[in-house]
Amino acid sequence: MCLLVLTALFVPIVSAMSDTSTQPLAEDSPEIISALKNHIAFVGESQEARMDGVIRYVDTLSGGEGVLDLEWIQEDYLTAASSIPLMYTAHEINTAREEMGAQSLNFANTAQDQVVMFKGNFNTMKDYINDSMQSLSDSFSSSNDPSWLVKGNARLEVFNASSFERNATITELAQQGVDVTKARQISDQIDAQRTNLEHALVHSQNTTIQSVNSEIKMLNQQFRNTILDYRANLKIATSAAAINAVK
């Protein structure tokens, strides 16, 4: 499967519902904004399922070594998608939608690199994607609940899931003998942003979710860079120990 096909799978194709009128007041009407949010939530949940399929395949293919970047990209995608319920203008929503598209393309590029690196098979990967999509379809059929991405607390759900994964990563590295002090300090700073997110949920029309996301994004990048450094140093140390063991 070439990159063109991967891109077709992962770049969200969202109709330009917000372009139904050139008048700002019309495109920001509650009816149009609500319809736009519902449509993007459906697309977002479908994309999440596709990404889940790829992550499961690469995890199996690489023995867990190749999924970290994919998981982080999915988190960034869901951050954008889950912020949309807290937005009330077409401009804000379209900006978030553009971010979703950029992260989808990033995910497709990274997925291709990982499958090639670990000598995988794109048709097998597609089977994993189809399995995830079938599970999503089954959940839609068995429930009358709206997409979780249309709910006001969706952004907080993504934040809490991210916090859980950060702590799991820190614990794993600590168990391998890594001094994780710096990562834990950054993670604590990210967790401290929960109060700002909760304020955005309660006072959504007075608090721009973009400013909260911007601060979290900066801290997230610091955390990720730190984790990558830890893993690189750990790999070097492990290789050195193996070489010394055979001398």
Rounded CA separation 26/242 (Å)? 67
User: Are 18 and 36 spatial neighbours (Cβ–Cβ below 8 Å)?
Assistant: yes
pLDDT, position 15? 42
Instruction: Specify whether 80 is located in the same domain as 196.
Output: no
Instruction: Specify whether 106 is located in the same domain as 185.
Output: no
- Which of 150, 184, 202 is the endpoint of a domain? 150
pLDDT, position 195? 94
The total of structural domains in the chain comes to 2
Profile the chain (247 residues) by mean pLDDT over runs of 10 residues: 52 45 65 90 93 96 94 97 92 92 95 95 94 90 79 94 97 96 98 93 77 96 97 85 64
Give the number of residues written for the chain. 247
Rounded CA separation 214/224 (Å)? 15
- Which of 104, 132, 150 is the endpoint of a domain? 150
The pTM assigned to this predicted structure is 0.88
Structure tokens at 33: 């904004």
Query: Which SS3 state, helix, strand or coil, does residue 59 take?
Result: helix
pLDDT, position 20? 43
Instruction: Specify whether 96 is located in the same domain as 115.
Output: yes
User: Are 28 and 89 spatial neighbours (Cβ–Cβ below 8 Å)?
Assistant: yes
Instruction: Specify whether 214 is located in the same domain as 112.
Output: no
Instruction: Specify whether 169 is located in the same domain as 92.
Output: no
Instruction: Specify whether 59 is located in the same domain as 127.
Output: yes
Question: What are the CA-CA distances from residue 58 to residues 73, 164, 188, 212 (Å)?
Answer: 14, 21, 30, 32
Instruction: Specify whether 127 is located in the same domain as 158.
Output: no
Instruction: Specify whether 191 is located in the same domain as 83.
Output: no
pLDDT, position 30? 84
φ, ψ (nearest 5 deg) of residue 120: -90, -175
User: Are 6 and 108 spatial neighbours (Cβ–Cβ below 8 Å)?
Assistant: yes
Give the domain range for residue 193: 153-247
Instruction: Specify whether 220 is located in the same domain as 120.
Output: no
pLDDT, position 19? 47
pLDDT, position 141? 77
pLDDT, position 14? 44
